[in-house]
Structure 1
Amino acid sequence: MDLTTFAFLGLPTIIQEYAEFYRQRDLAATLKELEPLQGLPKIEEYDFIVVGAGTAGNIVAGRLSNRFSVLLLEMGGDPPPSIYPAYIGSIQSYDMRTNPAINEIYKSIPQSTSALDDNGIATVHAGRMLGGSGSHNSNVYNRGSPLDFDYWAKLLGDQTWDYKNMLKHFKDSENFVGQLVNERQRFEYYGQIGPLRVDVDVPDFLENWSKAAKELGYNFSDPNAHQTPSFTAQSVSLRNGLRESTYDAFVKKKVLWQPTIHKYSQAHKILIDNNNNAYGVAYTRHGIPCIAHAKREVIVSAGAFGSPILLTKSGIGPADVLQAAKIPVKKNMPGVGKNLWDHVMLVLTFRRNDPTYRDPNFEEELKKFQSNPNNRQGYLAHQRRTQAFAVSARAKADGEGDWGDLQVQMIDQPFIESNPGGAVWECSLSRPKSVGEFLFNTTAYLAGETANGKLGLSNFKYFSDPTDMDALIEGINLAIQIMEGTQAFKSGGYKLDESFIPQACRGLPRRSADQWKCTLQRLGGTQWHWSGTCKMGKDSDPMAVVNSKMQVNGINKLRVIDASVMPKVTNSNLNAATMAVAQKGVTEILNKNPFRTNAESREI
């Protein structure tokens, strides 16, 4: 066992131990705080209550707390220290995303077109800690195509959602410091004074990436100002070699006017009066019943899985589901849980066959990273990723040749004992036509289950539109062409490791469309980009859950602000788009609530 394998083997233990350490520490403080109440819940009162401290919730709570009193409820605790180093966050992200100490685990109902190697059961994981999944995702900062937002605006009949108007909401989050392909675009298209530091990852193979683009007839361009089909570097939310989530940027580092944060707190019900006004939340904190009232609004930011679960538990959802769960119907809303979008991907591994290659010295790289905490250096302080956006034959036939529907991402992997100098690729379908649903598990609810992972059942329906599979195969072939067929990467001698091909598919012609279809049905899975389950829509849309201001239809003083409101998933990594949704949501709230009525404005 080499040193790197030895070091990374400890990650699950570190995560588990710190998660428990943080929980016990917060439990002791909570018990001391609640001790004078003699076991009875105190009714706390705030201007706003935000449920969920994920990517969206931290922005909403952090900004609103500049002016108002805000309670932020989060099911988990502080992120463990091992999620922060940039390299670990990229290379070991799967191990962190699946660790039950910091994640909620969801199972699908049996799938007929995917996860066949797991008997059709897809298992997915959502971050349960401050920052949510934004604390342990890949930190890729891709806004998506401008055409995504123009499409939303058209669906909603609301031009404030088009890219021209959404640009300011992206810029509000950004302190963009990375180098650009076109520096003249910096001040027009990028924020300079936002809380979140956004850099550009510049690995040593970026020049080869640019050369490969030229060989294959693609431009090398910027993924964010105006994303086009092209090869690009990746923008990432990193600060001094460490990952930065919206919790770090919008809440943790605030000196004044932080929201009140209750960790290890599970929202059980939105309190709604007889006039359909949301006025508070009933929740448990370390299992202890608590009640909080909101003088102005309740905002649900629990994510594409958590938000429909909470609405359903509160009597907002399909009437037949509520009745089956014996939950009093507050609002029959058939769209809750429907419209589940995701990016399905296949992971490829390439082995490097270059006799001159040697991995960097791991101990030397540790010293570079640790010797100066104010200026972390070396491989461990970087993500080492690149990407390309491409257009499938299907999109071209649909007249969408400028709107990428394929995304391929190359992740360079030094320090992997089993594959030194190898590379992992994520090949994803970024504009699928297949759409799923997220189901409320009434049986589990009636049995007394309270954990979200037990109450939600995903039904992704990947490849239910068979043309999705044809399009994704084009992305797989592009990845192989780049690594095995371009002069840019020839010196590495990269070859696809085909040992992952399922046994059931090995009798089919090698690398044929039939073999890839067989493989996708068995191994194709989530890219963790869930959205749409509480979608925005026009008043005339019977499946809309919220309007274009993210207000829940038929319930006053209640909004949903997170990725669940997206009418359709954007065509790339979802974190940056979720931030823009949150920024727009705060703008809508402040337009309605410009100042406190009983205190001086806190805006700084």
Structure 2
Amino acid sequence: MTGNITDDLCKICDGRIECAPTAILLISLVHTLYGHIGPEPDYFGKNRYNLLKTEEKLGEVPKFKTYYRGNQEKGYSYQEKVHEDEYDFIVVGGGTAGFCQNRFQTGCEVVQGRVLGGTSSINDMGYMRGSPADFDEWSLMGNEGWDFSHVLPYFKYSEGNYDKDISKNKLFHSTQGPLDVGRYPYVDDNVDVLLSAFNELGYNYTDINGRSQLGFMRIQTMSYFGERVSSYTAFIEPIRKLRTNVEIITEALVTKIVFKEDRDALLALGVEYIRNGTKVKAKATKEVIISAGAINSPKLLMQSGIGPKEYLEYLDIMPHRDLPVGSNFHDHISVCLPVIKLTKTATTAKFPDKLKDISTFYTKGIGPLSANFQVVAFIETSMSDILSTPDIEVRFRGHDSNMYYDKIDMCISLLTPKSRGQVVLNATDAVFGKPLIYPNFLKEPSDEKKLLEGIQEIVKLFDTDVFKNAEFEFDPRPILNNECKNHERVSEEFWSCIIRHFSSPLHNYVGTCKMGPAKDPESVVDANLRVYGCNNLRVVDASIMPKITRGSTAAPVIMIAEKASDLIKTTWY
């Protein structure tokens, strides 16, 4: 890079996003550390035509073979290799175990962490277990062993909480687990203003991962003194080179689960995947464990013949088990409003100062770059499903960044959505095409009503003495560049319009392989996470959640993995 670094980096921007100094700072940092971002893995190589056209019979696991065949259409000869590998357990996936009208392109973004550690490697790092009522409700739905008293030990088993104020509560917290949990070392001045304003409104400072979620706090995160801790860095990286009985295969695309009929049940034999232009059949002597997330886990099941019978037949996929795979999709829908204007507490910095902050962070682990958003509140609306439990989460983040504040976004999220969507296969190409997602956000009228009440409660912050003394002002201009400006700004119609324009998913997708009893027609897996009608096949990720937890789902997914580990060991050892 030559010349002015800001001008050079701004050429990267495509015009759809603001070329803000903070964005340039991030691009500069990534370029310095990694040089470039590589392309999507090429699973096929020159063998793409053959791999897409040749299919082995379902249930066969052939021995290694190599052969050559001329391909007149493509004009070259290729080599197809089919390997057979054998393992005790095969885990597929390396992750954490409606509307959006205010977008340049219509529709909502769906973000997935396609990296070891999954979404825990790219998320906001928030450590939120959910309410104890969430898990008690799972149990009441027929999932024995999933009430809060049973899952709390699994939360504690992984938690290594280094926050002295929080970790002293031994009933709810542990300091011994491999997952570092604590608060950021850097606290912006605006954080204290927000906390004090909630206190003035009558809310209590609380540990949201303790006995009661209601209230506010400076958020706990999956980080170690400002540095991200993902499920990969916490659980896998420390043992990856030490454990000879663990093999991690990256840049591989699993195309189907291999089954055979076994009396009255379907037996999972292994999986088939493509890597570096080679088709590989991996055999599991004990279990196949699907941990591909709430979008790709149902996709893999359906393209393997586990799903709604009529739908699979429509796609010419032989159905092996008729299960409601892909339904019950839901997420926390969030409305982020950039309406808090700062004056005397603005913490902007010039570009050279930001470059110095990079050095300070990497040498000392402190400064603005050691923090993300920090204030979160959980409130209960008049329509709360369970008394004394929240149904609205509010978080505050810097508008252009979470490190330098010149304006603050108020993000109001619905914790208890009733609307349900669906994930389906791409009819054009069920295996290699991207799945289609129909979220149906705000389909149920009560969802919008709860969000509306949440917004009306949070704007009361502008009436507090704390906000007035800090000169926090409500600035409606950023949210009025649409037809909402035609409504009276204090009316429900105005806020309903704003919700439709500024709503977006919080990327906590769950539910598409629902856990429930056999009598529940919506269930895909039982309380031991085993797929109904299939032996040696489990699903272990957010897709099994019958109802989403109140808060970010990273911590609950890790808990699910911890509990699944015990279930698997109980079965086989």
State TM-score, norm by structure 1: 0.79
What SS does structure 2 have at the residue aligned with 1:180? helix
Please tell me whether residue 332 in structure 1 is matched to residue 322 in structure 2: yes
Letter in 2 for 1:241: G
User: Quick one: which of 474, 481, 488 aligns to 2:466?
Assistant: 488
1:132-531 matches, cutoff 5 A: 132-158=118-144, 160-180=145-165, 184-185=168-169, 187-201=170-184, 203-204=187-188, 205-254=190-239, 255-257=241-243, 259-275=246-262, 276-333=266-323, 335-355=324-344, 357-360=346-349, 363-364=352-353, 366-367=355-356, 369-371=358-360, 373=362, 375-395=364-384, 398=385, 400-412=386-398, 420-445=405-430, 450-451=432-433, 454=434, 456-482=435-461, 484-490=462-468, 491-531=470-510
8 Å CA contact 1:368–1:376 kept in 2: the answer is no
CA distance in 2, matches of 1:360, 1:118: 29
CA shift, 1:289, in A, is 1.1
Deviation at 1:351, TM superposition (A): 4.3
- SS of residue in 1 equivalent to 2:389: coil
1:156 alignment partner AA: G
- Decide whether the 8 Å contact of 1:141 with 1:237 is kept in 2: yes
Q: Is the contact made by 1:180 and 1:222 (CA closer than 8 Å) also made in structure 2?
A: no
Distance 2:276 2:321 in 1: 30
1:345 match: secondary structure:
strand
Residue identity matched to 2:251: Y
* Larger Rg computed on CA atoms: 2
Give the superposition deviation at 1:512: 2.2
- Residue 179 of structure 2 aligns to which amino acid in structure 1? L
**Whole-Å separation in 1 of the counterparts to 2:486 and 2:541:** 44
After superposing the two structures, state which structure 1 stretch, 472-481 or 583-592, moved more: 472-481
Deviations 1:510-559 (A, max 9, x none): 14211121222233120101100000010111221000000000000000
Q: 1:494 to 1:14 in 2, by over 3 A?
A: farther
2:82 to 21, 25, 41: 41
Alpha-carbon deviation of 1:330? 1.1
CA contact (8 A) 1:546 1:565 kept: yes
Q: Percent identity?
A: 30
| Consecutive unaligned residues in structure 2, runs of 5 or more | 1-5, 7-19, 46-63, 68-78
Are the counterparts in 1 of residues 218 and 375 from structure 2 also a CA contact under 8 Å?
A: yes
8 Å Cα contact 1:406-1:428 kept in structure 2? yes
Unaligned runs of 5+ in 1: 28-33, 57-110, 595-604
Shift of 1:571: 1.1
Q: CA deviation at 1:253?
A: 2.2
Which amino acid letter does the alignment assign opposite residue 464 of structure 2?
A: T
Asked if 1:51 corresponds to 2:37, the answer is: no
Q: Deviation string for 1:136-168 (max 9, x for gaps)?
A: 11010100000000000111241x211111111
How far off its partner does 1:19 sit? 3.9
- Structure 1 residue 291, shift from structure 2 partner: 1.1
8 Å CA contact 2:372–2:402 kept in 1: the answer is no
- In the other structure, the counterpart of 2:568 is 589
Aligned 8 A contact 1:508 1:514 in 2 = yes
Residues 182 and 221, structure 2, Cα contact 8 Å, conserved in 1:
yes
Does the aligned pair in 1 maintain the 2:43–2:276 contact within 8 Å? no
What is the distance in 2 between the residues matched to 1:277 and 1:415? 50
CA 1:357–1:524: 2 relative to 1, 3 Å: closer
What SS does structure 2 have at the residue aligned with 1:49?
Answer: strand
Contact 1:384 1:411 in 2 (8 A): yes
Report the Cα offset of residue 302 of structure 1.
0.5
Structure 1 vs Structure 2 CA RMSD: 3.0
Q: Structure 1 residue 129 and structure 2 residue 111: aligned?
A: no
| Counterpart amino acid of residue 393 in structure 2 | Q
Residues 43-94 of structure 1: per-residue CA shift (max 9 Å, x gap): 01111100000000xxxxxxxxxxxxxxxxxxxxxxxxxxxxxxxxxxxxxx
Cα deviation, residue 7, structure 1: 2.2
Deviation digits for residues 230-276 of structure 1 (CA, Å, limit 9, x no counterpart) = 01121111124321110111111224216211111111010111211
Specify the SS of the correspondent of 2:437. strand
1:552 aligned onto 2:531: yes
State the shift of 1:371 in Å.
Answer: 5.0
Could you tell me how far 1:16 is from its partner in structure 2?
Answer: 9.4
Shift of 1:376: 1.0
TM-score for the superposition, normalised by structure 2: 0.83
Q: CA deviation at 1:366?
A: 4.4
Deviation sequence 1:544-595 (CA, Å, 0-9, x none): 100000000000000000000000000111111111111111110011122x
The letter of the residue matching 1:340 is F
- Number of equivalent positions: 519
Query: 1:588 is matched by which residue type in structure 2?
Result: L
Counterparts in 2 of 1:283 and 1:150: CA distance versus 1, 3 Å? same
Structure 1, 406-415 or 122-131: larger mean CA deviation: 406-415
Q: Is the 8 A contact 1:531 1:565 kept in 2?
A: yes
Mapping for residues 54-93 of structure 1, pairs under 5 Å = 54-56=95-97
Q: State the one-letter code of the partner of 1:263.
A: T
Instruction: Find the aligned partners of 1:188 and 1:450 in 2 and give their Cα distance.
Output: 47
- In structure 2, the residue matched to 1:59 is none
How big is each residue's C-alpha offset from its partner over 1:322-346, in whole Å with a ceiling of 9 and x where there is no partner? 101111111111x101111111111
Check the 8 A contact 1:359/1:415 in 2, yes or no.
no
Q: Is the 8 A contact 1:480 1:496 kept in 2?
A: no
One-letter amino acid matched to 1:408? V
Q: CA deviation at 1:497?
A: 4.1
Q: Which moved more, 1:538-547 or 1:209-218?
A: 209-218
* Cα offset, 1:3, TM superposition: 5.5
Shift of 1:190: 1.2
Shift of 1:372: 7.4
Residue identity opposite 1:201 in structure 2: Y
- For 2:334, the aligned partner's letter is M
- Structure 2 distance, partners of 1:190, 1:366, is 37
Alpha-carbon distance between aligned partners in 1 of 2:423 and 2:132, rounded to the nearest angstrom: 27
